[in-house]
Amino acid sequence: MSAKKITVVGAGHVGATCSQLLAMKELAREVVLVDIAEGIPQGKGLDQWESAPIEGFDTRVYGADDYSLSEGSELFIVTAGIARKPGMSRDDLLRTNAGIVHSVSEEIKRVAPEAIVIMVSNPLDIMAQVAMEATGFPRERVIGMAGVLDTARYRSFIALELDVSIEDIQALVLGGHGDTMVPLASYTSVSGIPLAQLLSQTRIDALVERTRKGGGEIVAHLKTGSAYYAPAAAAVQMAEAIVKNKRRILPCAAWLQGEYGMEDLFLGVPCLLGEGGLRRIVEVELSDAERAALESSAAAVRSTIEALKALT
């Protein structure tokens, strides 16, 4: 089971990695890589297609600097925007990326009014809202990639700490995609064993803090860009759950309408993904401290939304 066509918007590191992974997993018959930089998407798309005989995939990869080839795409992964540099927060990207995402969203609505949108551009929760408002799509068809990435980082750090297989670690990270995210230690286990039985609270707290700063840690190393392998893998995992109707429960940024006692904002929560996009939001029991942390994260998202309104 696969889609007929998936479009990736933005041919930078994240977008190009997304298109390559989509093709290698054969999640669509055609993958279109779109970017306003003439020649870049065409060159990367052709390069990826030329890897097909080696990797053994038949998905056609095309590059374009307009949306003509994207018409009728069933799913869009939006990575367009400027990347963070050292010293920049995700919120520093606010005004520039909001304008880019708004323009992209209008094009998506024009060429594929029934499409599903996976938002990757930062600040992610706010960009998902910009896309939903610009397209007019229902919440089922606009989902933000945040929790999958944040949870992957959390799991990877736990695996390093315990020297165990990544496959045995189950975890959940909720909240906004930023320093206020909420890794839930109470829902973290290794082959069913609660994390608290394997690590001291001090070590768990350190892993939680490293997870919150995970994106910044990579930016500090790279100096001229931000993470792209793990973000791309996370977006493609969401796409796979949707186009294959796998009905996976993954932490994603979803538009809340009463869930967790919150309304009218995108926030990372457990989401069941399948045919049509967001099938439902799963509500889990939270301790008082976890709920307070989630509400604090929601407040940070709302403050950024207000900041954007003040800028426009």
Q: Kindly report, residue by residue over 200-248, the tens digit of the pLDDT.
A: 999 999 999 999 999 999 999 998 888 999 999 999 999 999 999 999 9
- The helix (run of H) or strand (run of E) holding residue 117 is strand 116-119
> Quick one: 78 and 90 in the same domain?
yes
Cβ contacts of 303 within 8 Å, gap of 6 or more: none
> Quick one: 166 and 134 in the same domain?
no
For residue 307 the two structure tokens come to 């900041």
> Quick one: 111 and 211 in the same domain?
no
CATH of residue 161: 3.90.110.10
Q: What is the mean pLDDT of residues 170-177?
A: 95
CATH of residue 93: 3.40.50.720
Could you give the C-alpha distances from 55 to 1, 66, 105, 230, in angstroms and in order? 19, 28, 32, 20
End-of-domain residue from the set 111, 144, 177: 144
- Domains in the chain: how many in total? 2
- Residue 280 Cα to chain centre, angstroms: 17
End-of-domain residue from the set 91, 116, 144: 144
End-of-domain residue from the set 86, 120, 144: 144
> Quick one: 204 and 130 in the same domain?
no
> Quick one: 69 and 198 in the same domain?
no
The pLDDT of residue 77 is: 98
> Quick one: 55 and 194 in the same domain?
no
> Quick one: 283 and 176 in the same domain?
yes
pLDDT at position 38 over 60:
yes
Q: Which range of residues forms the domain containing residue 286?
A: 147-311
> Quick one: 29 and 62 in the same domain?
yes
Percent of the chain with pLDDT over 70: 97
Burial tier of 224 (Cβ tally within 10 Å: 0-12, 13-18, 19+)? exposed
| Mean pLDDT for the chain overall | 95
The pLDDT of residue 179 is: 87
> Quick one: 139 and 151 in the same domain?
no
Residues 142, 127, 296, CA angle at the centre, nearest 5°?
100
Residue in 211, 226, 142 with CA at minimum distance from that of residue 181: 211
> Quick one: 89 and 40 in the same domain?
yes
The single residue of 13, 102, 177, 221 carrying the catalytic annotation is 177
pLDDT at position 88 over 80:
no
DSSP string for 180-194? T-EE-GGG-EETTEE
Residues 30, 144, 79, CA angle at the centre, nearest 5°?
50
Whether 13 is a known active-site residue: answer: no
Instruction: Give the HSE-up count for residue 155: Cα atoms under 13 Å, Cβ half-sphere.
Output: 20
- Please state, in angstroms and rounded to a whole number, the distance separating the CA atoms of residues 143 and 128: 7
More confident residue, 122 or 33: 33
> Quick one: 182 and 282 in the same domain?
yes
> Quick one: 77 and 12 in the same domain?
yes
**Which amino acid is it at 35?**
D
Confidence of residue 264 (pLDDT cuts 50, 70, 90): very high
